[in-house]
Structure 1
Amino acid sequence: MRDFVLERPRSISEVLDTLQRHGNKAMVKSGGTDVIVWLHKSIKEPDYIVDLTAVEQLKGIVVNEDNVEVKALVTLNEVIGDDSLNRYFPALVQACKAHSDPLIRNRATVVGNVCAAVPSGDMIAPLVCYDAKVEITGPNGSRKVPVSEFITGPKRTSLGTDEIVTGIRIALPAVETSGCYLKAIRREALDIAQAAVCCTLFKGDNREFRIAFCAVSARPLRATEAEKLLNSCSNIDDEVIDQAAELAADAVDPITDVRASREYRVEMIAELTRRAISRCLERPAGEGVHK
């Protein structure tokens, strides 16, 4: 690990001033669970680390009249313990529980997981299913970008070097919902997903399924054909679920790497999609982690 200067601004304006001074020589840190690994492995070699943890404006979960804002320093354990997020966004809570262990979840943040933009990021698929928006602040003001557009490739985002993500905003559903996040891993804990599926169901008069994936594409991906099938069927039986699972598997084109082969990932997407749909319909299904 190379030497760097640690900056600890205490307000958003101080953060922006710091980033403008240092440009692409600076890296922003919130929980730091990804950044520390990158530094140790020399994947990233910044001259300056801008630590956000002293910025009070970036802390807390705010429930508004029609949306919830998860601010940049909110940890995964804070999400797990929040009643509103458990009520309205169960798949996001399940993804937080599936990520690492309680000690790491005390530091890791939802926003940090999204900004890392690794294909195996657990938070990404649920946030895509819930149509979450990334809130960005820079010297020219603020803007909101859907998570699906914010991530442009592996470890790449649309964030400028002089901008920060201040939070993620999710619209409160107007109808009852259910959700499920399932991941395939090799061991009991502290493992990155080989493949994962998020399925959400909005149960209004116009029932709507949404399905997204983790660890099987370079950018966030929805199973649009599978969604169309499910959303067009008045009666979803086992045959329809099987068809939707195959359509989901057809939507992905994963790579082979040290964690899993392409063929295994495709098979797991079909199986996890099948289970996730059943969970959302409140049918018996397997556990949240498949080994």
Structure 2
Amino acid sequence: MTQTMTAAMAKRVSHKTQHVRSAGDWVTLVLLVVAALIVLFPLLVLTVNAFKTQADYNAVGPLSLPKTFTMEGIVSFWITTKFPMKFLNSLIISLIVAVAAVVLSVLNSFALGIGRVKGNTWIVLGIMLANMMPQEALLYPLYTMFKAAGLYNTKLAIIIIFTIIQSAYGTYLLSSVYGTFPQAILEAASIDGASRWQALLKVVLPISWSTISVLFVFFFVWTWNEYMIPMAFLMGDDVQTIPLALATLQGQHTMEATTLASASLLSIIPTIIFFVIFQRKLSQGITAGAVK
């Protein structure tokens, strides 16, 4: 009898605990939904105005739904700026930079964090200081260098510049992570006869793949959104990127608000897609593979 009463009381306490926990979960969910709506509100306004006519925008303002949906702003920006060509330029530059910068970051960090290169602390400190240098200070030296090399006004110049800039940040981040890498795992691989390259490819990369994926996404988005250095190096219309196309269109014409909204929406869609594809990787830790 006593055991039955005890079990019943425990069941009621457990039920109350679950009820409280569920209520807290609902509160958290509601707060997250509200926060998501606040964050997405500018994007929603941008999307709504991209499908308005200018007369509709002038009559009812930016916060109301359009009376009639139209693609005029999107078509105008698409044709005026030769959007497919600019999109392809941005995609090629951003993808190559992201891949190359990740590869350089991994190789540099493996040498500095795990290989224990002599003076690695000073090297990492130098890389950190280089990351703090503003891009404005790099423009003239880079212009002189690439002008002399015959690479001015080419996509290759932008790829080289941003591969170095992004890999410097990636090296600084990954070297600190690899500096705390479990040595027991590497020693076990060495005992099994693994070389340095095999340890990198079969041990280090699988364990740190989540962090590398995050770097890849960030490098792609950062390069896609870059404006200052491409503005100084890409003069030809056939090599310009989407941010330059948007800025050039604003400078050459008096843009309607709906056309500007359409142009902005088209320019950020690829980065949104990238974040949607890789969003799970953004929340995974460096030791996810080791835990498995």
TM-score band w.r.t. shorter chain: under 0.3
Give me the TM-score of the superposition, normalised by structure 2. 0.20
Give me the TM-score of the superposition, normalised by structure 1. 0.20
Higher strand share: 1
Which structure would you say has the larger RCO, counting Cα contacts within 8 Å and 6 or more residues apart? 2
For the pair shown, which has the larger CA radius of gyration, 1 or 2?
Answer: 2
Higher helix share: 2
